[in-house]
Chain A
Amino acid sequence: MTTTAKQKVGWGTANTVAVVLAIVPVLWIVSLSFKDPATITDASFWPKKWTLENYRGIFKTSEFTHALINSIGIALIATFIAVVLASMAAYAVARLSFPGKGLLIGMSLLIAMFPAISLVTPLFNIERSLHLFDTWPALIIPYIAFGLPLGIYTLSAFFREIPWELEKAAKMDGATPYQAFTKVIAPLAAPGMFTTAILIFIFCWNDFLFAISLTSTTNARTVPAAIGFFTGSSQFTAPTGSISAAAVIITIPIIIFVLFFQRRIVAGLTSGAVKG
């Protein structure tokens, strides 16, 4: 069958509509962040006059900088620990046979469906009594717990794809179990672990409910929580510009991931859910 010009136009239009719908709200917030306070209420889609004033504004006080550091630190630490723990568990699920495997898979599924709000109240009280409230671990611990099911599902799907005969081949080539792992299996598992890390990072980066419930000051408050409580630079101006600028900054890592690792994110999201 040859593709007719009509078909091309049809698919082209559909593609364009999908792409435009996906990115217009993002462009809008970018545009707002470049509008100066005087024209921010002009309701036009593009700024009439471009300015960096809003970006300068949010870095003037330490509130946003702190939040940014908290966001990055908490998300990185939680992601790292979750990926390590999930890799161990996923290796066991994919490679070993032991009783309790089904239970682990069921439990992960259960937690993936868990309503976070149900945990907020008890966690709030537990963390207060443990003096964890409003510290980094206050968020890191629940992030790990909620990142784990995602990680275990995605990684065990990835691990199942590794041709384990390679491990045998390495043993025949004279490798010790440790060498077989570091020189042969680890390099093959790395892409899967990296993909999983991106997915878990996006989850931590995105969280709002835990962030506003388990923190109260710049000690541990992350950016999503901070912009939820932003006030304008003065009492009389709406914080629209500041919020938009902050929003654009925390969107940058996401855009980078999406642009460079599109294939991997799609593979990671779909492998765990469909083949799991």
Chain B
Amino acid sequence: MTIDAEKAAPTAPETRTEKTHRRTQLSEGARAERRLGWMLIAPAVIVMIAVTAYPIGYAIYLSLQRYDLRFPKQAKFVGLDNYTAVLSSPYWWHALWITLIITLISVAIELVLGMLLALLMHRTLFGRGTVRTAILVPYGIVTVVAAFSWQYAWTPSTGYLTALLGNGTSAPLTHTVQAIAIIILAEVWKTTPFMALLLMAGLALVPEDLQKAAKVDGATAWQRFVRITLPLMKPAILVALLFRTLDAFRIFDNIFVLTAGTNNTGSVSILGYDNLFTALNLGIGSAISILIFICVAIIAFFFIKGFGAAAPGSSGK
């Protein structure tokens, strides 16, 4: 008795034609909903485009000009000359190198510390609220304020850290390697909490029952972490890494206050700023802006490829 075939055959195409027919003519309600949706997002979209898309376009235009603010009259189209100038300058490559080093090391340290902190907040037996409150202080505090605190801490004869760790008179902020270490320290202190909070949210999504099941199966704490927790947290880790990597690549405030880019400690952002406000060269400054934008786009591209389906926004849950 196979009557289901006869039964199913006529109904399936019927519903399909129903659907295609409907798609072409939207109901009044659906159209009103569309209009309302567009009206509601319009102001936000306009502001975001006005402040980002338009200036970036304008920056591309500026980067193709010779445009020195001291001699605005002599502005003229020079093609890719500014880019050639930047890309053949050792300053650009050095700044890029410094930026990559700072980004890589600080994000790596933050990931480890952030994970420890996340586990601490997730598992600690007491004082969870206190720890969360305390770690929000570095997150919330003005970066410049924190940077000054670190600067004074490492200033000879003023700072408690030079007194504690050095002989009191050495000036670590004037040595390239030590200064970069301090910049990384300041960066790590300020942003590990953000990383930890994102990771903690990821931890909270790992079902407690899985941990119990693995425990029953005889997994040690370390095995449970590596085999259960980490794989399930992968999306959260990737999101946290993406945000922090791009953020670290843009590093500016800490360096500006701690060394102002002296002794070969400047990042690409510092270089761009100096070209604009010290050298007053809009053409070169814009070319640097565009190059930084391209670097960020490349980094983001690789991360988002790594995400696959786990990209933020792709899951509408």
What's the Cα separation between A166 and B229 when bound, in Å? 37
Interface membership of chain B positions 254-293, coded 1 if the CB is closer than 8 angstroms to chain A and 0 otherwise: 0011000000000011001100110000100110011011
- A105 interfacial by beta-carbon distance below 8 Å: yes
How many chain A residues touch B (CB < 8 A): the figure is: 98
Return A212 CB to nearest CB of chain B, in Å. Answer: 8
- B205 interfacial by beta-carbon distance below 8 Å: yes
- A275 interfacial by beta-carbon distance below 8 Å: yes
- B127 interfacial by beta-carbon distance below 8 Å: yes
What's the Cα separation between A257 and B246 when bound, in Å? 26
Given the complex, which residues of B lie within 8 Å of A96, measured CB to CB? Answer: 33-34, 36-37, 40
Tell me which of B51, B189, B253, B256 contacts A25 (CB under 8 A): B189
Is A209 in contact with B273, judged by CB distance below 8 angstroms? yes
Given the complex, which residues of B lie within 8 Å of A274, measured CB to CB? Answer: 198, 201-202, 205, 236, 239
Is A32 in contact with B152, judged by CB distance below 8 angstroms? yes
What's the Cα separation between A102 and B125 when bound, in Å? 42
Tell me which of A119, A124, A269 contacts B56 (CB under 8 A): A119
- B223 interfacial by beta-carbon distance below 8 Å: no
- B97 interfacial by beta-carbon distance below 8 Å: no
Return B98 CB to nearest CB of chain A, in Å. Answer: 15
Is B312 in contact with A262, judged by CB distance below 8 angstroms? no
What's the Cα separation between A270 and B202 when bound, in Å? 9
Is B129 in contact with A145, judged by CB distance below 8 angstroms? no
What's the Cα separation between A111 and B36 when bound, in Å? 24
Q: Tally of A-B residue pairs with Cβ under 8 A?
A: 296
Interface membership of chain A positions 9-40, coded 1 if the CB is closer than 8 angstroms to chain B and 0 otherwise: 00110110011011101101100100000001
Given the complex, which residues of A lie within 8 Å of B268, measured CB to CB? Answer: 117
**Chain B: residues with CB nearer than 8 A to chain A?**
30, 33-34, 36-38, 40-41, 43-45, 47-48, 50-52, 54-56, 58-59, 62, 117, 120, 123-127, 129-146, 148-150, 152-153, 157-160, 162-163, 168, 189, 193-194, 197-198, 200-202, 205, 236, 239-240, 242-243, 246, 249-250, 252-253, 256-257, 268-269, 272-273, 276-277, 282, 285-286, 289-290, 292-293, 296, 300, 312-313, 317
6 CB contacts below 8 A, A to B, read A26-B146, A100-B38, A107-B45, A118-B290, A254-B140, A274-B202
